[in-house]
């Protein structure tokens, strides 16, 4: 490709008192025709709605999310544990109080997981709408990463590659690059144990590129929201200092990374953050003043 324009697939914000949380929520008053409490919210993964996730209260009440990732539960007043499950994602839970004639929100951010079983992932790259497969480079990302030169535009191809990728069950993201005359392409697909999944990547004519790395754009603040300007951020072998606005920028490989944030006079904050190729994660980190005997804080 002669032009090096970069196409960002998605931007997501991970905001909170630490690095990120799996559940957050607020309570607001709402009119109701019954005395039941109402719990509602959305379930997402990296900013994208997760549909058909199941939300279950410990009294047996349950519901599933729609295509927007939204759910609603009506519960009698009391304290409940909510469990969220979805195929290919790590279950999460939280406790919440349901109150008379009140609506409370709980938002959940799910992380993907890969099971012990395996399946086959076949990948085909064609023009938008279909057609002959296009020679390209194919990279698939899940609990591992596989890079292949697909001289015939597919895996398998009836020649060099007799079968698809043998991968763990779970969600896999597909990146197609270096297809002459076409912009890079993306698709994701869930592979089930013992089954074959098909990833069809439709390429548009052009020269836009998707980076194989992801970015974190972050800001370090104190509990009042004021920028902390002498903080440092470390991950692996990389170390950066924030600027005069408390902001920092990191470019990292696709995957989960551990971050360590230090600032003089503040407790250390550590936590994990997911980085995805071709996407930018916005991250707010709150550091709290040090107190005698305090060391570090886990986000």
pLDDT at 98 over 60: yes
Task: Answer yes or no: are the C-beta atoms of 266 and 228 closer than 8 Å.
Answer: yes
pLDDT at 295 over 80: no
Task: Answer yes or no: are the C-beta atoms of 255 and 282 closer than 8 Å.
Answer: no
Choosing from 178, 203, 228, the residue where a domain stops is 203
Q: In this structure, how many other beta carbons lie within 10 angstroms of the beta carbon of residue 251? A: 12
The answer to the question of residue 228 being in a domain is: yes
The answer to the question of residue 125 being in a domain is: yes
Q: Map tokens 């007799």 to a residue.
A: 162
Same domain, 193 and 121: yes
Task: Answer yes or no: are the C-beta atoms of 52 and 45 closer than 8 Å.
Answer: no
Same domain, 134 and 155: yes
The mean pLDDT value for 214-234 works out to: 96
Task: Answer yes or no: are the C-beta atoms of 77 and 51 closer than 8 Å.
Answer: no
Q: What would the pLDDT profile of 24-61 be if each residue is shown by its tens digit? A: 555 444 434 557 899 999 999 998 999 999 999 999 99
Distance between CA atoms of residues 139 and 151, nearest Å: 13
Choosing from 62, 92, 109, the residue where a domain stops is 109
Q: In this structure, how many other beta carbons lie within 10 angstroms of the beta carbon of residue 296? A: 11
CATH number at residue 51: 2.60.40.10
pLDDT at res. 17: 29
Same domain, 72 and 124: no
Give the residue with greater pLDDT, 294 vs 176: 176
The answer to the question of residue 10 being in a domain is: no
pLDDT at 8 over 80: no
Q: What would the pLDDT profile of 187-208 be if each residue is shown by its tens digit? A: 999 999 999 999 999 999 999 9
The answer to the question of residue 95 being in a domain is: yes
The mean pLDDT value for 275-292 works out to: 91
Distance between CA atoms of residues 149 and 262, nearest Å: 42
- Token digits of residue 130: 């279909």
Distance between CA atoms of residues 101 and 281, nearest Å: 37
pLDDT at res. 129: 97
pLDDT at res. 242: 98
Q: In this structure, how many other beta carbons lie within 10 angstroms of the beta carbon of residue 68? A: 12
Name 120's bridge partners.
166, 196
The mean pLDDT value for 253-274 works out to: 94
The answer to the question of residue 182 being in a domain is: yes
Same domain, 92 and 120: no
Least confident of 3-7, 150-154, 240-244, 271-275: 3-7
Choosing from 50, 74, 109, the residue where a domain stops is 109
pLDDT at 14 over 50: no
Same domain, 87 and 142: no
pLDDT at res. 24: 54
Least confident of 166-180, 190-204, 280-294: 280-294
Same domain, 232 and 270: yes
CATH number at residue 219: 2.60.40.1120
Same domain, 227 and 196: no
Same domain, 199 and 225: no
Same domain, 124 and 192: yes
The answer to the question of residue 187 being in a domain is: yes
Task: List, in order, residues 6 or more apart from 293 with CB less than 8 Å away.
Answer: none
The three-state secondary structure class of 121 is strand
Same domain, 217 and 253: yes
Burial environment of residue 292 by CB neighbours within 10 A (0 to 12, 13 to 18, 19 or more): exposed
The answer to the question of residue 260 being in a domain is: yes
Same domain, 217 and 194: no
pLDDT at res. 291: 80
The answer to the question of residue 9 being in a domain is: no
pLDDT at res. 28: 47
Domain span holding position 53: 23-109
Q: In this structure, how many other beta carbons lie within 10 angstroms of the beta carbon of residue 48? A: 11
pLDDT at 87 over 90: yes
The count of structural domains within the chain is 3
């Amino acid at each position: 490709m002669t032009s090096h324009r970069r196409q960002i697939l998605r931007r997501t914000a991970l905001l909170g008192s630490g690095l990120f949380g799996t559940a957050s929520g607020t309570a607001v008053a709402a009119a109701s025709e019954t005395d039941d409490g109402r719990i509602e919210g959305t379930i997402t993964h990296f900013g994208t709605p997760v549909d058909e996730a199941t939300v279950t209260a410990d009294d047996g009440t349950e519901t599933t999310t729609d295509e927007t990732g939204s759910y609603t539960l009506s519960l009698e007043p009391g304290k409940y544990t909510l469990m969220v499950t979805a195929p290919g994602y790590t279950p999460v839970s939280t406790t919440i109080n349901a109150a008379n004639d009140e609506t409370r929100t709980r938002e959940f951010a799910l992380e993907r997981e890969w099971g012990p079983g395996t399946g086959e992932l076949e990948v085909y790259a064609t023009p938008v709408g279909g057609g002959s497969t296009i020679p390209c480079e194919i990279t698939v990302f899940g609990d591992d990463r596989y890079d292949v030169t697909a001289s015939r535009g597919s895996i398998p191809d009836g020649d060099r590659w007799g079968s698809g990728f043998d991968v763990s069950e779970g969600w896999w993201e597909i990146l197609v690059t270096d297809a002459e005359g076409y912009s890079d392409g993306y698709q994701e697909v869930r592979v089930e144990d013992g089954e074959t999944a098909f990833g069809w990547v439709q390429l548009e004519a052009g020269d836009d590129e998707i980076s194989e790395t992801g970015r974190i754009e972050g800001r370090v603040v104190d509990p009042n929201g004021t920028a902390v300007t002498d903080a440092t951020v470390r991950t692996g072998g990389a170390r950066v200092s924030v600027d005069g606005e408390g902001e920092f920028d990191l470019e990292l490989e696709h995957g989960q990374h551990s971050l360590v944030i230090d600032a003089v006079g503040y407790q250390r904050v550590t936590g994990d953050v997911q980085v995805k190729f071709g996407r930018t994660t916005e991250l707010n980190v709150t550091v709290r003043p040090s107190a005698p005997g305090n060391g570090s804080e886990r986000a």
